[in-house]
Amino acid sequence: PKRTRVHHLREMKDRGERWPMLTAYDVYSAEIFDEAGIPVLLVGDSAGNNVYGYDNTIPVTVDELMPLVKAVVRGAKSALVVADLPFGSYQVSPEQALTTAFRFMKEGGAHAVKLEGGARYAPQVEALTGAGIPVMAHLGFTPQSEHALGGFRIQGRGDHGEKLIEDALAMQAAGAFGVVLEMVPADVAKRVTGELAIPTIGIGAGPDCDAQVLVWSDMAGMNRGRKPRFVRQYADVGSILVDAARRFGDEVRGGEYPDADHSYS
């Protein structure tokens, strides 16, 4: 199958076709989601929680994300692979954003990058797109700003809706190929989606976005903790693994594994 390109995503918006995006952090998840026809895989800094066991994405470094990006790129034969720019790796200046993004493209093999923030980061987005790097923007609840935003909260309610639309338009004008809208009221996300020519990718942003993204460990039931309201769990892989590990343990303890079929003579 042919590689998904950013222009395909724009064309799907023009045709009114919705598309799914999932996070991936390793080669198996990348191969599996690619096989399932997911056209865009995000190596999210949600790896902070879902791979490294941090409480949030703030401590994640470029060096922690890089090997995950490499693994996902190796596993994804058709999907467009987007690398998240970690907190502190792009905010300082457009030059810093370029240096970080060049690493993800050259060492990591990523096809695009994503960064959090609105109009304030238009210079970064312009610098990156000017250098030939496709950029996905991320507005609404931006986890790297958790402390400034006062925790895990809906963004863009009331008067803040206008600011969100302005930010989305600024990202489009700066050259972004798509905008993630996280935890935004459905009516605001619908308005942004209507005003933008580039696709919106919702997560907790209602049914009217052009695309939807979920963290794979949430949607597949790997995350054993509390799940946000917007997550739908499509499988209980965590319980399947608990069961498999338990049966393996029982059979080893009981001397049933390995048997002759699983031994060499």
From the list Na ion, ligand KIV, none, pick the one residue 111 interacts with, judged by a Cβ distance below 5 to 8 Å according to partner type: none
Near ligand KIV in 45-74, by CB under 6 A: 45-46
Q: Determine the interface stretch with ligand KIV among 2-10, 39-47, 102-110, 144-152 (rule: CB under 6 A).
A: 39-47
For ligand KIV, the closer CB: 129 or 223: 223
Q: Is 126 a catalytic residue?
A: no
For ligand KIV, the closer CB: 159 or 222: 222
Near Na ion in 41-70, by CB under 5 A: 44-45
Amino acid sitting at position 39: P
Number of separate helices (H) and strands (E) present in the chain: 11, 8
Query: Does 180 contact ligand KIV by CB under 6 A?
Result: yes
Q: CB of 142: closest distance to ligand KIV in angstroms?
A: 8
Q: How many residues bind Na ion (CB under 5 A)?
A: 3
Is 190 known to sit in a ligand binding site? Answer: no
Angle made by CA atoms 152, 158, 164, in degrees to the nearest 5: 70
- Dist CA 231 CA 15 (whole Å): 27
Interface residue with Na ion among 34, 84, 167, 182 (CB under 5 A) is 84
Helix (H) or strand (E) holding 104: helix 94-106
Query: Does 210 contact ligand KIV by CB under 6 A?
Result: no
- Cα-based distances in Å from 122 to 30, 100, 136, 154, 174: 30, 16, 12, 23, 6
Assigned token pair, 162 = 């206008």
Query: Does 167 contact Na ion by CB under 5 A?
Result: no
Q: CB of 250: closest distance to ligand KIV in angstroms?
A: 36
**Cβ-count burial 248-262 (b if 16+ within 10 Å, e if not):** eeeeeeeeeeeeeee
Is 227 known to sit in a ligand binding site? Answer: no
From 11, 162, 182, 256, active-site residue? 182
From the list ligand KIV, Na ion, none, pick the one residue 215 interacts with, judged by a Cβ distance below 5 to 8 Å according to partner type: ligand KIV
With contact defined as beta carbons under 8 Å apart, do 21 and 201 qualify?
A: yes
The dihedral region occupied by 183, where left means phi > 0, alpha psi between -120 and 50, and beta the remainder, is: left
Interface residue with ligand KIV among 4, 23, 144, 155 (CB under 6 A) is 23
Q: Determine the interface stretch with Na ion among 47-55, 81-89, 215-223, 254-262 (rule: CB under 5 A).
A: 81-89
- Cα-based distances in Å from 246 to 52, 117, 217, 238, 260: 24, 44, 21, 12, 21
Helix (H) or strand (E) holding 81: strand 80-84
Query: Catalytic amino acids?
Result: 182
Q: Which residues bind Na ion (CB under 5 A)?
A: 44-45, 84
